[in-house]
């Protein structure tokens, strides 16, 4: 996930990398973060795990519009789909799918998926953590 982010939003990747590097220092935060930071395997500052949960249409309250969240879909769910209201479109969200998008900028939902288990790892950046350690990220990612 971090490697993919480095290609599509290098500024956000670098900000997360710098925060993680700082937190790995034994002197950082009065020595309270380095042990956990050393085993954290992502430049993202937060992770939520959802198991067998439908998600009604929402815009995430965390992050910034120009930050990209990463959703990893896992499990045996028969027909999972993610719906984006602004696009009026659903997309296949089967196991192994990774989506990068602005959770703050797009209304999204996951409804009933039929039989099977659905697990989602949602990785995102907490802006207060980024802004406390590095300059705010103002870019929107790679320009195509």
Q: Which two structure tokens, joined as six digits, stand for 121?
A: 């790892």
H or E stretch including 58? strand 55-58
Q: Are 66 and 100 in contact (CB under 8 A)?
A: no
Give the tokens for residue 57: 């249409």
pLDDT of residue 84: 98
> For the segment 86-110, what is each residue's pLDDT rounded down to a tens digit?
999 999 999 999 999 999 999 999 9
pLDDT value at residue 107: 97
Q: What is the mean pLDDT of the chain?
A: 93
Predicted local confidence at residue 50, as pLDDT: 96
1-132 fold: Double-stranded beta-helix (3.60.130)
Look at strands 108-110 and 118-124 and give their pairing. Answer: unpaired
Q: What is the pLDDT of residue 142?
A: 80
Other Cβ atoms within 10 Å of 103 Cβ, number: 22
According to the model, what pLDDT value does residue 144 have?
Answer: 62
Segments of the chain scoring below 70 in pLDDT: 143-144
């Amino acid at each position: 996930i971090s490697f993919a982010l480095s290609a599509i939003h290098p500024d956000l990747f670098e900000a997360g990398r710098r925060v993680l590097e700082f937190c790995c220092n034994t002197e950082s935060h009065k020595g309270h973060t380095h042990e956990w930071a050393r085993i954290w395997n992502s430049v993202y500052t937060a992770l939520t795990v959802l198991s067998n949960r439908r998600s009604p249409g929402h815009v995430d309250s965390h992050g910034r519009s120009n930050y990209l969240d990463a959703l990893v879909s896992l499990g045996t769910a028969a027909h999972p789909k993610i719906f984006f209201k602004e696009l009026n479109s659903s997309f296949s969200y089967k196991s192994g799918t990774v989506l990068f998008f602005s959770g703050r900028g797009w209304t999204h939902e996951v409804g009933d998926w039929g039989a099977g288990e659905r697990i989602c790892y949602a990785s995102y950046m907490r802006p207060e953590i980024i802004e406390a350690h590095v300059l705010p990220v103002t870019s929107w990612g790679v320009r195509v």
